[in-house]
Each structure stands twice: as C-alpha cells, then as structure tokens.
Structure 1
C-alpha cells in the first residue's frame, strides 16, 4: 500500500474519474435523445409519404427531403436492389435464388446497420453504470486505509480524528452511485426505444417485400 501518497490525491483522482464518467453519461444521454427523436420524426414522415404514394414508382420518386431516417434508407436499399436485379444481364451470384429471400436479405443487412447506429453509445452507458460504483468504492477503500494509517500513527482514536478522513473517503462511494444511477436508467430506457424502433423497421421490411413482389408480379 503506497502510504506515501496523500489521501487527497487518491480521493481527488477518484472524483475526477467519476466526474469524467458523469460528463460522458450526460453527453451520451442528450445525444441519444436527439438521435432517436430526429430518427423517429423522419421515420413517421417517410412512412406517411411512402404508403400514401399510388405505387412503388411514385414512392421511389419522393422528394429528397423525405428520404431521411432509418426507414427511408432501408427503402432506398430495397429500390437499389430491385433496379440492379432487373439490369443485371448475367445474373451474378447475389441475384441468384428466390427473389423475395434475396430482397429480404438485402433489406435486413441495411436494417442491421441502422440498428448498430441506434445502439451506438449504449455499451458505454452500461459500462459506466456497472463500473462507477466500484470506482467510488475503490477510492473509499483506499481513503479509509490511509485514514486508518494516520490514526495509528497519531495514536489518537477520538471522534474528531476518525470521522473526518473516513467521512471524506465515503463521499467517493456516494458519488459513484450517483453517477451510476442515471447511466443505468438511461441505458434501459434507450434500449427499450431501440427495440421499439427495430420492431417498426421489421414491419416495414415485411411490408416492402410484399409490395415489391406484388408489383413485380403485375409487370
């Protein structure tokens, strides 16, 4: 145990670490709120415009400002696949097979990309939520060990001597818990939102495939 290190250095180092965790947590919280709110707005706007179109051709020609958001990018990927499959002369391997299965695979690959983008930052929130209390506890334990060393060296066990250093050390644990709670709550909230958005994207993929194959059958 490095007793030559001042207790204030250890406790302050712990507190600065927790401060960095807190800043990162709230930065991620505000970013995820902005990201999911914006994406939800774009998805709702595109969904209305897409399904109000008279056919797939009209849906494909929607204005560029409508083609924004995860759902729009999935639709764009679907249209790109349909166009390439029609224009392919020698039918490369990626177009050989059951059309609806190949189209679904292409759309789900894009959906997985959108899901990864929506989940960005969640692992960091989960990590902060699980480690912040232990960082605080680490600072507390080292602080108490230093306090015990100082008490032993001074030879006094009066309340004035004991309470101050130990009380300062316990602050680290309290702050660690205070940092962890918002991180855990935010992680659970955003994870639920991402699952909700994913369900909507899966429904859109299914509906898009059905519509595209129905339109192709009429050609």
Structure 2
C-alpha cells in the first residue's frame, strides 16, 4: 500500500478524538516550520546587515559621520538601531538637559537608560517565536502518545467485542495507533533543534551587542574629552617646538 492509502486507511479507522489529535499535530507542525523558516531568514538578514554596519562604523572617521549615515539610511538590525538611539539620546540630553523625569540624572545615566532600553527591545525581538517553538517541542510527543493510547484502547475494545485476539487482528490497529507517536516525534524533533539553535544564536548576538554598547558608551561619554586632551597635547608640542626654534 502507498503512503496515501495508508494515511486514508488510518484516518478512516480513527474516531473524532483521533482525528482531532492528528490535525492538532499537523497544525503544530505547520506552525513549527513557519517559525523555523522565518527565524532562520531573520537571523541571516540580521547577521549580514550587522556585519555591513559594523564595518561602516569602525571605518568611519567620527561619530558624526556615522550619525549622518544613519539619518540617511538605517537598517532594522540591532547594532545600527542601538547606535542611532544612543547618539540621539546623547545629543538630546546635551541640548535640552533635564526637563522631565525621563531625562533625570546625568548625561551618562540618561545614555545608559537609553542603551538598556534598546537592548531590551532587541532581546524581545530576538525571542519572538521561541515560546511557541518550546511549547511545540515539549507537548508534541505527549499529544502523539495520547493518540497512541487512544488508538490502542479502541483496538482492544474492538477485539473484546469480537471475542477474538489473533495477531492479524491486533497488528493492524495497534500499528496504526503507533503512527501517532511517530507523528509526535516528527513534530517535536525539528522544533527542539530549531529552538536550541535560536537560543545559541541569540546569546552570541546579544553578547556582541552588549560589548558594542560598552564601546559606544565610552565613545559618547569620553570621546570629546579624549579628543580635547589630544588637541591640547599637540598644541603644547607645537608651542615647545616653536620656542626651541626661536632659541
């Protein structure tokens, strides 16, 4: 018998509960693969766009050049999103100071809150769909097992009513009932693997984002002071060289 014939025979032998469990597993499988494909696509896009932005950021001459680029074009990926809001928060506090409770504290505290808020937003975006994958991975085997138990129960009821229990009569109904266990595992295994891969990828990306946030915070809070100190040293050296030349 072909697969379609076996499936048709299985559905014909099932009652309402068995059919409900079968279509529940089918729905869970479709949802699982939807999240797997979408998360894989989003992860690939985020990684490729992040590499491009980080290359642009570290090769820029100043944060002003980065800000101008972000004003003209900004991809919806974590690093450019964080940089855009951090630069705007730093400029906003420098221009307007403390006028509202939201702006309370020093410039560094206000910038820290802005960076933390963006990181929390990116974390929530990365975790989208993971709850569904985890729920499917943990419940699908039990749904399949319940379908198997229900099918075996009905097979035993049929054998009891007929008063005969030969191997030929038991093998068919029990084998069809075990299909539900296989379906449950077929739904759960891809969901488990995808969930673990997404969690690992998110952990790596958030670690990189956190490290980048520390560098960005240092640039925004101490960059101007460092530049001023360098200019002062250069100016002093020029004066010293001029004085030596005059002598």
Q: Is the 8 A contact 1:11 1:169 kept in 2?
A: no
Quote the residue 2:101 is aligned against. 93
Q: Is the 8 A contact 2:22 2:180 kept in 1?
A: yes
Figure out how many residues of one structure are paired with residues of the other and give that number: 214
User: How far does residue 96 in structure 1 lie from its aligned partner after superposition?
Assistant: 3.0
Query: Using the alignment, how far apart are the partners of 2:52 and 2:126 within structure 1?
Result: 18
Answering whether residue 142 of structure 2 is matched by residue 134 of structure 1, we say yes
Residue 116 (structure 2) aligns with: 108
- Identify the match of residue 182 of structure 1 among 160, 179, 190: 190
SS in 1 for 2:69: coil
Q: Which shows bigger deviation, 113-122 or 95-104?
A: 95-104
Q: CA–CA distance in 1 between the matches of 2:222 and 2:98?
A: 24
Is the 1:18–1:135 Cα contact (8 Å) retained in structure 2? Answer: yes
What is the Cα deviation at residue 62 of structure 1? 1.1
- Conserved in 2, the CA contact under 8 Å of 1:104 and 1:205? no
Can you give the 5+ residue segments of structure 2 that lack an aligned partner in the other structure? 1-12, 229-247
Q: CA–CA distance in 1 between the matches of 2:160 and 2:85?
A: 71
For residue 132 of structure 1, report the CA deviation from its aligned partner: 0.3
Query: How far did residue 55 of structure 1 move?
Result: 1.1
Off by >6 Å, runs of 4+ in structure 1: none
8 Å Cα contact 2:90/2:107 also seen in 1: no
Segments of structure 1 that go 5 or more residues without pairing to the other structure are 1-5
- Partner residue, 2:165: 157
Structure 1 residue 90: deviation in Å? Answer: 4.9
Compare relative contact order (CA 8 Å, sep 6+) and give the higher one, 1 or 2: 1
For structure 1, which segment, 84-93 or 191-200, has the greater mean C-alpha deviation from structure 2 after superposition?
84-93
Taking the TM superposition and a 5 Å limit, the aligned residue runs for 1:1-219 are 7-62=14-69, 64-217=72-225, 218=227
Under a length normalisation based on structure 2, what TM-score does the superposition of the two structures give? 0.81
Return 101-110 or 179-188, whichever deviates more: 101-110
Which structure shows the higher helix fraction?
2
Q: Which residue of structure 1 aligns with residue 3 of structure 2?
A: none
TM-superposed CA distance for 1:12, in Å, is 2.6
- TM-score norm. by structure 1 comes to 0.91
**Max Rg structure:** 2
For residue 120 of structure 1, give the secondary structure of its aligned residue in structure 2: coil
Partner Cα distance (1:66, 1:77) in 2: 11
Return the offset for 1:216. 3.7
**What's the CA shift string for 1:169-218, capped at 9, x where partnerless?**
11101110111000001000010000011011101110000001123435
Deviation at 1:121, TM superposition (A): 0.4
